[in-house]
């Protein structure tokens, strides 16, 4: 890792963290801390184009470089070309994969730091590697990325909420003009089908039945809707909406309920109440951060089998969370 002497405050920092959504959220939480302690440092971020809107909403990020992953080798080469024409005092590869390694290799930076758990040969392009958290892994992404703060002799504490500039206004905003304890955002998707709980339909109806005046918004990448009778004025369907609208929805003061997913991490970072549902993956590694927060709760399916987790058990956890 970098030496014990406190490094000189850099005037420019390059952050390479193209994806995924949850990992970018964790990276933003760490870099927000950088901006607090290095207020005169100009921060540039390499981000996949589909997630660029989130990074650009952060007031402490001065510039983004878009990585068009779907363009394949051409997209990677375009980013590398852009970086070859730029100079930075410090560059951080927070991704730790071959493509991010090639990006940091192309960057003209006085110092290039990367993760000690990097893969695919990325570490060949680092001047220094950042230590992993103490203890046996695998570790949660946040303490791994906090290693960059510690290596720079910065206070590693994560501050809440994650600061974002005001987003676009949408016609559904008035749906959230209510007590946040009666408002629920349910995200039914996850990056892997095996991590998706199949009973959000039943849970939604239980929320309407047991929490008077409750309103529920659904969001997901693919269109979906609860079956049965839907109470008038108490349901908002934003499944299939674009990324910028999803980000704005997750920002609403409410209780977020969802699978192990990027939107879950974003809602937790923004300071909302979050109930995360886990099956085959571990909340100690992938759960909302920080663990043990009164704002968050993780429900683990019996034996890791999501089908065996009942809507009644999740409702009980929801009620416990909103009335803490």
Nearest to 262 by CA among 80, 82, 50: 50
The answer as to whether 2 is a domain residue is no
Q: If you search the block for the tokens 């693919």, which residue do you land on?
A: 222
DSSP label of 25:
H
**Residue 255 confidence (pLDDT) above 90:** yes
The answer as to whether 160 is a domain residue is no
pTM for this predicted structure = 0.94
Range of the domain at 59: 12-151
Residues 314 and 179 in one domain: yes
Q: If you search the block for the tokens 């749906």, which residue do you land on?
A: 175
Q: What tokens were used for 24?
A: 């970018």
Residues 277 and 139 in one domain: no
Residues 221 and 108 in one domain: no
Rounded Cα–Cα distance for residues 81 and 105 (Å): 11
Radius of gyration for the chain, computed over Cα atoms and rounded to the nearest angstrom: 20
- Say if CB 277 and CB 299 are below 8 A apart: yes
Rounded Cα–Cα distance for residues 227 and 23 (Å): 33
| pLDDT mean over 56-65 | 98
> Per the structure, how many domains does the chain have?
2
- Which band of pLDDT confidence, cut at 50, 70 and 90, is reported for residue 2? low
Q: What is the pLDDT of residues 88-138, one digit of tens each?
A: 999 999 999 999 999 999 999 999 999 999 999 999 999 999 999 999 889
Rounded Cα–Cα distance for residues 94 and 114 (Å): 6
Final residue in a domain of this structure, among 89, 120, 151: 151
**CATH number for position 40:** 3.40.50.2000
């Amino acid at each position: 890792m970098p030496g014990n002497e406190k490094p000189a405050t850099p005037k420019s920092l390059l952050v390479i963290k193209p994806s995924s959504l949850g990992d970018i959220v964790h990276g933003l939480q760490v870099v927000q801390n950088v901006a607090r302690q290095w207020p005169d440092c100009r921060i540039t971020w390499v981000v996949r184009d589909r997630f660029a809107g989130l990074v650009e909403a952060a007031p402490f990020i001065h510039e983004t470089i878009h990585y068009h992953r779907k363009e394949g080798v051409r997209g990677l080469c375009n980013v590398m070309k852009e970086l070859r024409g730029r100079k930075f005092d410090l560059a951080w590869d927070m991704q730790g994969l071959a493509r991010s390694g090639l990006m940091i290799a192309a960057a003209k930076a006085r110092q290039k730091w990367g993760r000690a758990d990097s893969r695919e040969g990325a570490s060949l392009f680092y001047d220094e590697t950042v230590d992993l958290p103490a203890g046996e892994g695998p570790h949660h992404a946040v303490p791994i990325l906090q290693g960059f703060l510690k290596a720079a002799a910065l206070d590693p504490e994560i501050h809440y909420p994650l600061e974002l500039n005001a987003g676009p206004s949408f016609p559904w905003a008035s749906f959230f003009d209510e007590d946040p304890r009666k408002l629920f955002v349910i995200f039914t998707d996850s990056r892997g089908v095996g991590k998706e709980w199949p009973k959000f339909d039943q849970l939604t109806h239980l929320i309407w039945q047991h929490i008077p005046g409750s309103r529920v918004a659904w969001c997901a990448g693919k269109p979906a809707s609860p079956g049965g009778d839907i109470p008038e004025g108490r349901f908002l369907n934003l499944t299939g909406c674009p990324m910028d609208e999803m980000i704005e929805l997750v920002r609403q003061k409410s209780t977020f309920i969802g699978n192990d997913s990027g939107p879950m991490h974003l809602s937790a970072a923004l300071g909302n109440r979050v109930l995360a549902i886990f099956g085959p993956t571990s909340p100690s590694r992938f759960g909302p951060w920080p663990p043990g927060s009164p704002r968050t709760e993780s429900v683990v399916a019996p034996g890791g089998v999501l089908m065996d987790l009942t809507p009644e058990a999740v409702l009980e956890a929801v009620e416990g969370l909103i009335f803490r």
